[in-house]
Structure 1
Amino acid sequence: MSTTQNERLRGLLEPFVTERELDLEELTVTPAGKRRVLRVVVDSDEGVHLDACAELSRAVSEVLDESDVMGGAPYVLEVTSPGADRPLTEPRHYRRAVGRLVKAQLRQGDELTARITAMDEDGLDLEVPGVKGRKPTQRRVEFSEIAKARVEIEFSRKNKNEEEA
């Protein structure tokens, strides 16, 4: 049984990532001229700090140097956190987005922009903004109804402390 390079990389690196209480979100190897770029994307419920990325990068680099999984060709290692516009694909992504505004494409074809107020294993409770001065409405959406979703970037959103005041 043959395994792909990505599967071997995931098997090698995932223990180092989970040991640091992080989730291995994405792992890609792409050509870049005469080199390749190994991009390791990690996240956690608390977010990922630059120091954690740097420490993980050093540990991953040592593990890769001791293994032959990348072969003999040169490569660049990039350890990073996911961007703000990454797709929400796992329940943990939605859990981390509670309180945030999301744009979801529903399987039936509708597009919905709403704030996640709560979530459980089956789906999301949403607050849909009112139109033209109307009050927001509550809506339940099951995960099975969502084709794709992303967090919407909000530049002028009040933080919790301002909302409570």
Structure 2
Amino acid sequence: MRVEVSGLEVLQRADRALRQAIDDALGRGALEIADEARRTAPVAFSLLQQSIRPLRADWNHWQVVAGVNYARQVEQGRRPGGPLPDPRSIEAWMKTKRITPHAQGMPIKTAAFLIARHIRDFGSPAQPFLAPALESKRSRVEALVLGALRKVGG
């Protein structure tokens, strides 16, 4: 008995084309989500905005990441307690925003330490930028993937 399989090469090409089209659509969607997150992220130094980018994790798995260590605290807020935030970062933020201590003669380092202690003791509110960007672009990403499927499928 002999079995002959034909058309396997055509199926493999179609599979590659489909995978590539889906990956391209997801990559485009991740880029649009990253653009939206950058547009809506809170700005102190713009480091947070500049660190937001799409990242390809696998052929059909894209992520949008914020590459600064404080991004999660901005997105989700900070509960009271835990370690003291870095007063040097707060001092740099104060200088950028031209914030001066209310108490006359108080060094900016002291004010930064007091702000850090306040954040440690009372927390800080969430300022979401990634989750809202994903939600606002969800239907667009779905449309990109469906368009890719239609394009490959004919």
TM-score, normalised by the number of residues in structure 1: 0.27
The structure, 1 or 2, with the larger RCO (C-alpha pairs under 8 Å, 6+ apart) is 2
Greater strand percent: which structure?
1
TM-score, normalised by the number of residues in structure 2: 0.29
